Structure 1
Amino acid sequence: MTTTQDTSLDQWKTWGEIHQQPQIWRDWGQAFDVASVRDWIAAQSHDEVWFCGAGSSAYIGDIIAASVPNTRAVPSTDLVADPHAFLTGNRPLVVSFGRSGNSTESIGTLDALDALAPDAPRLHITCNPDSALATRPSPGPVKVINLPEATHDAGFAMTSSFSTMLLTALALFDASCDVPARFGALADQLEALLPTLGTPRPARAVYVGSGALTYAAREAALKVMELTAGQTPALWDSALGFRHGPKSFVRDDTAITVFTSPQQPTAAYEADLLAELRAQFPRARVTSVGAGGEIDIAMPYGPAWAAPLCIAAAQIDSVRWAADLGLNVDDPFAGQGTLSRVVSGVTLYPVAP
């Protein structure tokens, strides 16, 4: 492992946004009135809890739904494309995540709810207090959580916005806990971890995990592809699913990261996969990150809570690899006109009641 102490990277906002996460979590843990929001949630009438968002915001929902009972991840990209398939006859509590809060799919989700489930309660967690998620009126019950201004990442890739939205939702929907203490403990872990992270750039990368960490692997792979502008292909899968075809992606020049769980039998399956990969691909770089891993991350609160710590390894590598490729880390697609920080160019179509 190398160290993250590299002053040449200080020029990039994304680098600073990764490193500000511990302080954001500490401060937000103290300021966040969790009890009042949990009381509001308990007072709502709903059939299910849905977590909605697009891209990284959708993966937040995947991580939580994989670990918190009676919740469901419904990407806004799916909901907007076929709203009747989801909303006919349902009264969900719809939790929408949005860094900008203004993406086309965020607005399309509100439109679909207005048309098909106007009375369904809505909880909006956003990093932009001026956004549609923060300010648009709702015909039914709505609660807005505006995260600290620092979480409104200026860089292309979601980093502190992703982690803080995830931890905020876990504080609301997982078992009740001492939020200031837990956020503070996680901040201490990440602060100690960050200086130890950083690996040489591979030709391609793989991230795998189990349960909630499967979707942490998905977010990690996305960070690599986003920040290296697709020049470092990245794949994600579950630890057991990886053998079923996706392993064909691996070559000698591949870096494979396995996010390891403290739970059994999960940890045993992951140990078997690590041993198999090292035997079959002796020239590939295989690293375990997580409970008992080569990068050891204690997970006393469970894998979902530790997901931001695991993903931090990919955040750090992604910035380093992008800089190594000579890219603009804060806008890797500058001049291409293909991807932008807030997705644009999507036409919304009316939703018939």
Structure 2
Amino acid sequence: MTLREPQATADTLSSSRLGEGTATERELSRQPDVWREAGRIVADRREALDAFLAPLLAAPDLRIVLTGAGSSAFVGEVAAPALSRRLHRRIEAVATTDLVSDPAGRLAEDVPTLLVSFARSGDSPESLAATETADRVLRDVHHLVITCAAEGRLARVHADRPRSFVLLTPERSNDEGFAMTSSFTSMLLSVLLVLLGDDEQVVGAVADAGAQVLDARARIEALAARAPERIVFLGSGPLAGIARESALKVLELTAGGIDTYFDSALGFRHGPKAVVDGATLVVVYASADPYTSRYDDDIARELRAAIGDDAVLTVRASGGGEADWVLRGLDGLDDGWLAVPFVLVGQLLALTASVNAGVPTDNPFPGGAVNRVVQGVTIHPLED
């Protein structure tokens, strides 16, 4: 099977907004405004944040661990390499699901640690268990909680602890829909601003780029109208995290109806490229780093030669050719910042594919096979 030609033109598609009226579409579409609000929140709390963080960051042996579950874990996967590049210090992304199930392996070194926890609701079983596990295993641990829900268990438990700081993202970022959209990007933007410093111009550029994606959603709708059987997302460095997040969004919102894969530009050739055929759509998130982007361009060229220009979309911040989608106004920004507007491409693909498949986008699993807040997890007691 090969990708079919879209049944509507871009001009026709631009007159409507697929998914309109759903919470998911509403939350996805208002993200640029929510990002500006998130920037203001971090700026307003800067004095308190610095008072909490400065003594910790002054320690040369401080380990920073970014943690969360599912999409919240992928926030850390984007932010860790992005922050390490800029701060030149030890920053790791470890999912709460790994930290809770394997504390001896994930927290093997008892060194001063800042555990940065990301959570949309803060009510997933592993969210609080991860912080409690760290407190049990480590002698010197502080907690920065970045969450969308003031009423969540994670925020409430850590609200008044002297070794904890709770930063709430905008209230509107606490998505009602099944999929994390605004919550993912708001937490990602917030942690970058917290640790790299407030920058109103950067927030504005990122928000403007997000608006560019939303204004050109007809391009995404045309790609989804080609009815791919599988969608592959590729990215290098920090952008590997949004490749993974984008793949999860499509998988979730189509209720598993479209197979998805993610990998790095180099890693994809080592076996996973076997999934590529005429029914595959590939999205490559191209790095802004001149060296790293060479590998992204290499795989994009190779795949275009194999399955055609129309089946490969490269998203980038500058340069590129006619087949690329270039977001303007992002020149000079690192990949961590680019990840915020770039991931809207994956979110829109997921939304459009969900609508086209007739899946109830706000609740793709009405039978409860998969839940908005994970259920059924037993947290086993940790022995001394």
TM range (shorter): over 0.9
CA distance in 1, matches of 2:14, 2:62: 46
Q: 1:198-232 deviations in whole A, cap 9, x for unaligned?
A: 12231110000111111111111111101111110
Deviation at 1:40, TM superposition (A): 1.5
Partner of 1:104: 125
CA distance in 2, matches of 1:34, 1:295: 36
Partner of 1:35: 46
- The two structures have a TM-score, normalised by structure 1, of 0.94
Change (3 A) 1:114 1:204: same
Deviation at 1:140, TM superposition (A): 5.5
Partner of 1:9: 19
3-state SS of paired residue (1:265)? helix
Q: 1:60-112 deviations in whole A, cap 9, x for unaligned?
A: 11111112222111111100001122335233100000001110110211221
Partner of 1:146: 168
3-state SS of paired residue (1:257)? strand
Deviation at 1:114, TM superposition (A): 3.2
Where do residues 168-179 of structure 1 align in structure 2 (5 Å cutoff)?
A: 168-174=190-196, 176-178=197-199
Which one of 236, 239, 256 corresponds to residue 282 of structure 2?
Answer: 256
CA distance in 2, matches of 1:129, 1:214: 30
Partner of 2:6: none
CA distance in 2, matches of 1:204, 1:255: 6
Change (3 A) 1:299 1:15: farther
Deviation at 1:54, TM superposition (A): 0.6
Partner of 1:155: 177
Change (3 A) 1:9 1:172: same
Change (3 A) 1:11 1:284: same
Moved more, 322-331 or 87-96: 87-96
Report if aligned partners of 1:258, 1:274 keep a CA contact under 8 Å in 2: yes
Report if aligned partners of 1:52, 1:76 keep a CA contact under 8 Å in 2: yes
5+ residue gaps, structure 2: 1-8, 85-89
Moved more, 40-49 or 270-279: 40-49
Deviation at 1:143, TM superposition (A): 0.3
3-state SS of paired residue (1:66)? helix
Report if aligned partners of 2:207, 2:341 keep a CA contact under 8 Å in 1: no
Count, aligned residues:
350
Which one of 326, 339, 342 corresponds to residue 296 of structure 1?
Answer: 326
Partner of 1:20: 30
Read off the aligned partner of 1:325 and give its amino acid letter: A
Read off the aligned partner of 1:333 and give its amino acid letter: F
CA distance in 2, matches of 1:314, 1:164: 16
Report if aligned partners of 2:229, 2:258 keep a CA contact under 8 Å in 1: yes
Deviation at 1:283, TM superposition (A): 8.0
Change (3 A) 1:284 1:204: farther
Moved more, 23-32 or 131-140: 131-140
Report if aligned partners of 1:18, 1:159 keep a CA contact under 8 Å in 2: yes
5+ residue gaps, structure 1: none
3-state SS of paired residue (2:366)? coil
Q: Percent identity?
A: 37
1:317 to 2:349 alignment: yes
CA distance in 1, matches of 2:144, 2:83: 17
RMSD: 1.9
CA distance in 2, matches of 1:203, 1:115: 46
Report if aligned partners of 2:111, 2:140 keep a CA contact under 8 Å in 1: no
Read off the aligned partner of 1:253 and give its amino acid letter: A
